[in-house]
Structure 1
Amino acid sequence: MDREQEDVQFLGFFGIFKESLKIIFSWKRIFTQITLSLILPLSFIFLAHIQVSHLLFIKILKNEYALYYTREGTKNYANLSDTLSAEWAAFWLFKVFYFTFLLVLSLLSTSAAVYTVACIYTAKEIAFRKVMSVVPRVWKRLIVTFLWSFALVLVYNFVSAALFYPWARYYGLNGGTGIAIFIALVILYLIGFIYISIVWHLASVISVLENSYGIKAMIKSRRLIKGKMGAAVAIFFTVAACFVGVELLFENFVVASSVSGRNMGISIPVGIVCLFLLCTVFLFGLVVQTVIYFVCKSYHHESIDKSSLADHLEVYLGEYVPLKARDVQLGEVHV
């Protein structure tokens, strides 16, 4: 990022996109190494999860259908029941392993991308080996922030369910009033969910670059995002749309082909294309959330001392030294 900090605050939707792409293409080698080592496995696991989950679930549905038309008390019924129990156990065990590996790789990828962009911002010499040495020490802070955001989402969903219950009990989808209330509730729910997601992503960057993490990072993120919420929401929707587009492409051409046995010749090429596109979306999303952090800091006139940031990005005595709040907020820049 070769822009002056005062200029960064004026970046909007297209400016943030352009700056993120410029960073990625200007430092292709380091980001390619990060992608191959962390983001590629992350993307592969995500797509493989869709494929395996679909195949397992189809098999479970077939056995449940067969069990429904099998007389109880027979040997065949007992065998089908045991098979279903084992398949459900395998299904949920697979889900647990998937979410565990997904969480670890996503946090490691976030650590690597944020650290790299911060080094670029400070014009600090950056090498892949240095990034990989810092990442394991940083991602633990991200776990705390993730757990707080996860707890917040659980509470939010619980409150939302409490609001949906009176609608389901007294209205439902019967009549215009019930449908109107349902649409309003869904819109309100999505607004809240998107807001929490944006705050969490920015809090992840804060957890890497500052001494705040967990609930403190979430609170600071909520304050920082003010004034740039419009651009952040637009970017969130754009990245989410690309993500969903890749997922739908994979499901319609790869997963559907494996189930029906048709168009198998194009499933492998399409799968490779989806893997490449998903890696691109993941990488861009991680870089852009770091750029948004610097934009928000500049917008609130909170100067970032590049030399102090560079010092705190060093690995000192084998320990990662996070950027302290006083180094990030050296005072307001009056313009």
Structure 2
Amino acid sequence: MDREQEDLQFLSFFGIFKESFRIIFSWTKIFSQITLTLILPLSFIYLAHIEISQLLFFKILHDKDALDHTQVGSTKYSNLSDIISSEWTAFWLFKFAYFTFFLILTLLCTSAVVYTIACIYTAKNISFKKVMSVVPKVWKRLMVTFLWSFAIIFLYHVVAVIVLVFWAIFLAQNTVGALMGVALLAFYLCGFVYIGIVWHLASVVSVLEDVYGIKALKKSKNLIKGKMGISIGMFVVLSIFFGGVEVLFENVVVLGLSPNVGITILVGIVCFLLVVMVILLGLVVETIIYFVCKSYHHENIDKSSLADHLEVYLGEYVPLKAKDVQLEQFQV
């Protein structure tokens, strides 16, 4: 990262993308190794999960339809009921296994990319072996941050459901209530995006500073002030692109809307490569945003202290102390 830290705060929306691409293409070897080892399996699991989930769900729907046309109390009805129960069990076990592996790989990918960019930032010699040796020690901190984020998102949705039920019972029957429903939906989406942004930035904080969990989320919330617009823009653009790839994959590959097998296979490969690219770019972008936010708040990062902490491989991982990452404020 060639830029002076005080200049990072002036990076625009497109400037952050440009800087992210520049870093990726300047360090092609290390990012290619991280991609092949971690991001490729993560992308494959993600797309395979969509395909398998649909197959299992369609099988359940087919059997439920057959059950609806079967005489209640008959042997066939009893057998179909047992089959459907087993299929639901298999469906949710598969979902749990997918979520577990997806979460682990996501945390490992985040650790690897954030750690790599921090090493690039400090101009330290970086190798894939070094990255993989420290990643398992870092991802545990990310797990704590994720669990706190998950708890907040869960509570947020509980409150949202309560508000939705209240609106449906008392307000949905008139025009004013309908307008309030639109306003509540907009408010919900804004809140969800905000939580997502804070969570992603907190992941970077958990790797590079001595805080994690709820403290990392609070730190992230403070850092993001003043750069909210750019952060929202990045989050929304990447989310839309990621969602677009998922919709394309579901319609063409999973649902088989294309009659041509060759086109279906080609679209599947393209979607897979796009998911890989979006995941890598998203992780690089969120790390750059961290440095941009630090620069905006005039929180100088001591590169030598950061480098010393990044070099700890032989013993337990020693994260950055707050005094190292947030020394004195400099004047612009």
Partners of 1:256 and 1:169 in 2: CA distance = 36
Partners of 2:77 and 2:164 in 1: CA distance = 39
Structure 1 residue aligned with 2:159: 159
Partners of 1:261 and 1:290 in 2: CA distance = 39
- Following superposition, the deviation at residue 265 of structure 1 comes to 2.4
Partners of 1:235 and 1:331 in 2: CA distance = 29
Partners of 2:68 and 2:176 in 1: CA distance = 38
Partners of 1:152 and 1:329 in 2: CA distance = 27
Structure 1 residue aligned with 2:239: 240
Structure 2 residue aligned with 1:193: 192
Partners of 2:314 and 2:83 in 1: CA distance = 55
Residue identity in the other structure for 1:280: M
Provide structure 1 residue ranges, at least 5 long, that are not aligned to the other structure: none
Secondary structure in structure 2 of the residue aligned to 1:290 = helix
Partners of 2:177 and 2:77 in 1: CA distance = 43
Of 261, 267, 270, 1:270 maps to 267
For the Cα contact (< 8 Å) 2:133–2:313, is it kept in 1?
Answer: no
Partners of 1:86 and 1:54 in 2: CA distance = 16
Partners of 1:278 and 1:166 in 2: CA distance = 38
Q: Percent identity?
A: 64
- Following superposition, the deviation at residue 316 of structure 1 comes to 4.1
Partners of 1:105 and 1:303 in 2: CA distance = 32
Residue identity in the other structure for 1:239: L
- Following superposition, the deviation at residue 182 of structure 1 comes to 1.3
- Following superposition, the deviation at residue 177 of structure 1 comes to 2.1
1:188-212 CA-to-partner distances (Å, cap 9, x unmatched) read 0010010000000000000000000
Residue identity in the other structure for 1:133: S
Partners of 2:243 and 2:42 in 1: CA distance = 16
Partners of 2:313 and 2:268 in 1: CA distance = 43
- Following superposition, the deviation at residue 5 of structure 1 comes to 0.7
Structure 1 residue aligned with 2:31: 31
Give runs of aligned pairs for residues 8-23 of structure 1, distance below 5 A: 8-23=8-23
TM-score, length basis structure 2? 0.98
- Following superposition, the deviation at residue 162 of structure 1 comes to 2.1
**Residue 296 of structure 2 is aligned to residue 299 of structure 1:** yes
Residue identity in the other structure for 1:134: V
1:288-313 CA-to-partner distances (Å, cap 9, x unmatched) read 00000000000000000111101101
Equivalent pairs counted in the alignment come to 332
Partners of 1:252 and 1:154 in 2: CA distance = 29
Structure 2 residue aligned with 1:176: 175
1:82-109 CA-to-partner distances (Å, cap 9, x unmatched) read 1101110100000000000000000000
Worse-matched range after superposition: 261-270 or 247-256 = 261-270
Structure 2 residue aligned with 1:329: 326
Partners of 2:21 and 2:321 in 1: CA distance = 28
Secondary structure in structure 1 of the residue aligned to 2:255 = helix
Give the superposed CA RMSD: 1.1
Residue identity in the other structure for 1:294: F
Partners of 1:187 and 1:267 in 2: CA distance = 36
TM-score, length basis structure 1? 0.97
**Residue 130 of structure 2 is aligned to residue 115 of structure 1:** no
- Following superposition, the deviation at residue 261 of structure 1 comes to 8.5
For the Cα contact (< 8 Å) 1:141–1:207, is it kept in 2?
Answer: yes
1:39-67 CA-to-partner distances (Å, cap 9, x unmatched) read 00000000001000011111100110110
Residue identity in the other structure for 1:295: V
For the Cα contact (< 8 Å) 1:314–1:321, is it kept in 2?
Answer: no
Structure 1 residue aligned with 2:79: 79
